[in-house]
Amino acid sequence: MKRITVKRGAYYDSVFLMLATRGLKGLAGVRDAIVAMATPMNVELLCDMGFPSAELDGLGPNDLVVAVDAQNDQAAEAALKEAFDSLTKKRNAEVAGGVAKVGSFAAALAHDPDANVAVISVPGAYAAREARKALQAGLHTMVFSDNVSLDDEIALKKLAVSKGLLMMGPDCGTAIIDGKPLCFANVVRRGPIGVVAASGTGLQETTCLIDRYGSGVSQAIGTGGRDMKNAAVGGMTSLLAIEALSADPSTRAILVVGKPPAPDVAAKVVAALRASGKPAVAHFLGAPIPADEETIAYASDLEEAALLVTLLADGSNDPASARARIRDDSGNNHYNRPGKAAIETIARAEAERLGASQRYLRGLYTGGTLCDEALFLAHAALGGVRSNNQTDPAWAMADPQRSEGHVVIDLGDDFFTAGKPHPMIDPAARAERLEKDGSDPKTAVVLIDVVLGYGSHDDPAGACVLAIRAAKAAAAARGGYLPVIASVTGTPADPQGYAGQVATLEAEGVVVMPSNYRAALVAIEIAKLAAKGGAR
């Protein structure tokens, strides 16, 4: 069933057209879709493909054509409606400067009565009230706000469960629902993997890596940090999300990511994954890693979690065969996971010119989960790392503004963000700290994250450039050299563009690794070499 719709004199940028095409191709019953300008060559192509030529007559390069090849009338009609809606919404969003402005939740609902998800981002004291309204109106609810009381969270989640609705949050920074990125989220392919995450940048890192490995995401559901961690909350949202993904025919494999859950909650989550009947991967940062089960793989890091679930969704029906495929890839590097030898080589090359006083790792993070991943690795490998995220009181930072010894800092922590924008939105505070710590004669290596996607700064890599130059120049002036190691959490379709951000960093002599995990390994290796007096 081949159908066409046309918008005359319609202009859209290429990225939007690509996203519109991807969105249509991901719809049920759609065999193929083309969203393109009606140039003579494209019209000829569409005619050759069997689309009705009468509807293409008289169109020109300034007209937009949406062509859908669907399995039946119903699917074609739904796809054309989706296309028309998304094109119209783009225009409407532009009309209102990107946001339809309303004064209340009721007005928002009246503005779009078909909406089935509400995103609440108001001061914490009011967030619970607004979330309750949304749930009572039958909407799945994402609460971006923090500072919602534990009692309110429990009550809201009980209400949500009773209605079969997802209550994501509070303090839920990211989700991808039906292909729509919410709050801080990346533009990833749609695909067979369902993600449940109690960590914002953990969700972003894994979904971006899944995209890079060639797979995609059916749904990525944020739960809020307390959902699994707090026994009283009991993982209510996580369990409902797993149940929903179990029933979702588009989801072939499930990934659960979070900080270590309360023991009872962990048992329930694992039981839910077993009961799902689908292969699954679980990764709880910093927690002991159990042995794989028949259908559940336990990953050691975010990168491994993303790769394992990609392989499980791609025909490796059990963890053992997925791990075998990873082992087989060793050396072929199909998934761009530089091994131990490559990491040591990179580290040696960077450590070669370190000055005698350069000793310490300085990790300066904008993403909390990415910070934790690097912190846990470095703390174990370097024999003690200070951080404002440290769970070991002996290594908690007395003054997070001052770096002493090995340090890995979460600059998105409340300590740094009171009254200021989060560093993923405005990286100025990170740049300032980077210049300060990078210029410290004792710093042997700087480790950073660069997080792309909606919500993030327009050019987070560019925002670091001057600080990196200044820090490297300071090291050079002392006769040393400052290695800067980074990873970029993002995809080619993100508004900032993955390749351009990598190029910006590499132009400044930054070593950009394919994941936060690999970047941390390189930085740790450099710090080890520095302790031995560099690679000289």
Partner 1 sequence: MTVGAIGCLAPGAPWSAPLAWVATKALALTHGDGAAVAIVGNIRDMDARAILIADGFGDFRAAAKASADAVVSVRLDDVSATLVVDGVDLLAVPTGGALRWDPRPALAAAAAAIASAAELTAAADVIAAMLAEGPADEVSVHGDGPFAVAFARLRADEAFPANIVGFGPGSTPAGDDWLAGYLTAGDLAGGGPGTSWPGLRAALAPRLGRTTPAGRALLSGALAGAPPAYLADLALAVTGLSGDGADDGLRLAVRAALGKGASSGRDALAGFLEALRHRPKSSDAL
Q: What minimum distance in Å lies between the beta carbon of 460 and partner 1? A: 13
The single-letter code of the amino acid at 205 is E
3-class SS letters over 181-195: EEECECCCCEEEEEE
How far is the C-alpha of 436 from the C-alpha of 431, rounded, in Å? 9
End-to-end Cα, the chain, rounded Å: 68
For partner 1, give the closer residue by CB, 17 or 117.
17
For partner 1, give the closer residue by CB, 13 or 399.
13
For partner 1, give the closer residue by CB, 37 or 429.
37
For partner 1, give the closer residue by CB, 70 or 242.
70
Q: What minimum distance in Å lies between the beta carbon of 99 and partner 1? A: 10
The single-letter code of the amino acid at 526 is I
Question: Which two three-digit tokens encode residue 442?
Answer: 């004792």
Backbone angles phi, psi at 109, to 5 degrees: -65, -40
**What pairs with residue 70 in β-bridges?**
30
Q: What minimum distance in Å lies between the beta carbon of 77 and partner 1? A: 21
In terms of C-beta density within 10 A (0-12 exposed, 13-18 middle, 19 or more buried), how is residue 479 classed?
Answer: exposed
For partner 1, give the closer residue by CB, 211 or 372.
211
In terms of C-beta density within 10 A (0-12 exposed, 13-18 middle, 19 or more buried), how is residue 81 classed?
Answer: exposed
Q: What minimum distance in Å lies between the beta carbon of 33 and partner 1? A: 9
Q: DSSP character for 386?
A: B
For partner 1, give the closer residue by CB, 44 or 85.
44
**What pairs with residue 257 in β-bridges?**
197, 283
Helix (H, G, I), strand (E, B) or coil at 455: coil
**What pairs with residue 387 in β-bridges?**
396
Q: What minimum distance in Å lies between the beta carbon of 430 and partner 1? A: 19
Q: DSSP character for 148?
A: -
Q: What minimum distance in Å lies between the beta carbon of 521 and partner 1? A: 21
For partner 1, give the closer residue by CB, 29 or 495.
495
Which residues in this chain contact partner 1 in the complex, by CB under 8 A?
A: 11-15, 17-18, 21-22, 25, 32, 34-37, 39-42, 45, 48-49, 61-62, 94-98, 212, 214, 458, 492-493, 495-503, 506-507
> 413 with 449: CB under 8 angstroms?
no
Q: What minimum distance in Å lies between the beta carbon of 298 and partner 1? A: 28
> Which among 90, 86, 73, 64 has a CA at the least distance from the CA of 30?
73
**Residue 120: enclosing H or E segment and its boundaries?**
strand 117-120
The residues, any chain, with a CB within 8 Å of residue 248's CB and separated by 6 or more, are 194, 218, 219
For partner 1, give the closer residue by CB, 57 or 458.
458
How far is the C-alpha of 369 from the C-alpha of 413, rounded, in Å? 11
Q: What minimum distance in Å lies between the beta carbon of 205 and partner 1? A: 18
For partner 1, give the closer residue by CB, 294 or 352.
352
How far is the C-alpha of 487 from the C-alpha of 450, rounded, in Å? 6
For partner 1, give the closer residue by CB, 212 or 229.
212
Q: What minimum distance in Å lies between the beta carbon of 329 and partner 1? A: 15
Classify strands 30-37 and 64-70 as parallel, antiparallel or unpaired.
antiparallel
For partner 1, give the closer residue by CB, 284 or 498.
498
Backbone angles phi, psi at 183, to 5 degrees: 55, -130
The number of residues in the chain equals 536
Q: What minimum distance in Å lies between the beta carbon of 281 and partner 1? A: 22
Q: What minimum distance in Å lies between the beta carbon of 91 and partner 1? A: 8
